Structure formats: structure tokens, C-alpha cells
Structure 1
Amino acid sequence: MRFETTVDINATPETVWKLLIDVERWPDMTASINRVELLDEPIALSARARVHQPKLPAAIWTVTAFEENKTFTWESRSPGVTTTAAHELVTTPNGTVTVHLTLDQKGPLAPLFALLTGRLTRRYVTMEAAGLKTKAETP
């Protein structure tokens, strides 16, 4: 399963990046996340976090790619499925930000996971993008 969403945010890239990498505060932005425990600080390459989401088991996510102020990707593994989530910021010519969120699930059980949780996963990613936009644009 692959899901992508894009949101334009009327805020500075610095504001959006600070919110994006402050993963422990994500529950303040979206109801799709109950709690995030940063296991390695700061969030950077190889850092890990335990993410608790409604209706899903807690998962350990490990940062696999990180470029300050631009992008971070993290990955979670469970038996038969590897889930990769990418967060990319693109600064527009007028100084605002377009955020691309991508979620990929691969592995022998990925089709089953997509069938069981695909709709919920898509809804959560969309909620996260909307919550980031609202938080970044609120003074």
C-alpha cells in the first residue's frame, strides 16, 4: 500500500520544521496520535520513537533518512510488513511551505495489512497533514 498527501502551509519553513520534528508533541496536533515517546534524542538519523495510535498497536519507528529543515523518513517493522513514512518540506517561492507525507507498506503481509487498516491509515495521514497545517498557521 502506498498513500501520499500534500498540504500547503502558510507559515515559514522554520516554523513547520520545528513542529514536524517535535514528535512528542504530535498528539497536540492530531487525534490520530495518542502518545509519542522519543527513545533517542534529538530526532536525527537512527533516532527511535515509540508511537501510540488509536486502534493500532504501539510501534517503534527508526529514522532512516534525515536532512535538517527538509525531510525525515522513518521506518517501523512488524512481522511481515515494513512501514516507511516520509515527511518532506518544499519551500515555495513566496516563502511558505508545501509538505508531502508519504506512507509505504511492503512485505509479504502488506496486502493483508492494507485490507485491514488501509482506510484507517489513510485517514490518519490526512489528519496529521491537516493538524500540522492548523498548528503552523495558528499564531
Structure 2
Amino acid sequence: MAIEFSETVPVGAPAEVVGRIMSDVARWPEWTASVSVVRRAATGPLTAGETIVVEQPKLPPSTWTVTRVGPTGFEWTSRSTGIRNVAGHWATDAGDGTSVAVLTLSFAGPLARPSLLFYSGLVRRYMAMEGEGLCAAAERHG
């Protein structure tokens, strides 16, 4: 059984702008303090199957594999000992030139629940930081 976290953020920019910013993962450290380094070997648009290393403060580096990509976001997965994570980053147009970004993160596996005893507060803080930074970045570029 997975443990789910989500952050829903209204953004004053169209979903395509938000999706483009989210999908440009190499630039995340520019707009969210929850990510310090992103190492991506490929250039250009994200592609399914691509792997990306993400470093975050207070956490060990993690390798994410992109599983789905669309014009308004993407999903990727990561594994560590006893834990499987799935993270979604999607935007939907609100119909008036604005959008709603939905960030999701699930934890599954035998060590998911014990690890979240220590990390759930950090997960919530980082998702809020990502949502706030994404909103600001999209509204600057939208």
C-alpha cells in the first residue's frame, strides 16, 4: 500500500508554460531550494526511459527514471532499499490563462512507512517549496 503526498498549486500562467518549466529539470535548482543539483546526460525534451540524478539538501542523491511525458508535465520513479517512489508533475489549464499544478509523490515498499516516520515533514516542506517556486517561475515566464 502506497503512502501518498500531494501539493496543488494555482498558477497565473497557462499549463503549457508550467509543464515546460517542470520538465526542464536541469533548471530546478534555479527556482526551488528543495533541489540543489540535477545531473541529466541528455539535452532537449525529457524522454521516457531517461535517468536523472537529483540531489536535495538533507537527503542522499537519488536516480529517477522518467516513465511518462506530456506537454503539461511528466512522471518519474526512483528506487532505494525497500522503497519505491513515484512522482508526478502535471498542470491543467483552468480556462482563463491560468492553470493548476499538481505535484504528487508516493512511497511504497517495506521501508516506506518507517522512513516516513523521519522524513514526512521534510517531504511536505520540499513539496510546498517546489510548488511556490514553480508558481513564481511560471508567472515570471508566462
TM superposition score normalised by structure 2: 0.92
**Residues 18 and 72 in structure 2, CA contact (< 8 A), matched pair in contact too:** no
- The question of 1:46 aligning with 2:49 is answered yes
- Matched-pair identity in %: 39
- Map 1:12-91 → 2, pairs under 5 A: 12-41=14-43, 42-67=45-70, 69-91=71-93
Of 98, 101, 109 in structure 2, the residue corresponding to residue 99 of structure 1 is 101
Number of equivalent positions: 138
Structure 2: state its 5+ residue gaps: none
The two structures, once aligned, show a CA RMSD in angstroms of: 1.2
Match of 2:119 in 1: 117
CA distance, structure 2, for counterparts of residue 40 and residue 24 of structure 1: 10
| Unaligned runs of at least 5 residues, structure 1 | none
Higher mean alpha-carbon deviation, 28-37 vs 13-22, is at 13-22
CA contact (8 A) 2:23 2:73 kept: no
SS in structure 1 at match of 2:123: helix
- Residues 113 and 40 of structure 1, relative CA distance in 2, 3 Å threshold: farther
> Which region of structure 1 is more displaced relative to structure 2, 69-78 or 10-19?
10-19
The answer on whether the counterparts of 2:11 and 2:101 sit within 8 Å (CA) in structure 1 is yes
| Deviations 1:19-73 (CA, angstroms, capped at 9, x unpaired) | 1111011001111100101134441111111000000000000011222x13311
Q: Which amino acid aligns with 1:66?
A: V
Q: 2:38 touches 2:52 (CA, 8 Å); kept in 1?
A: yes
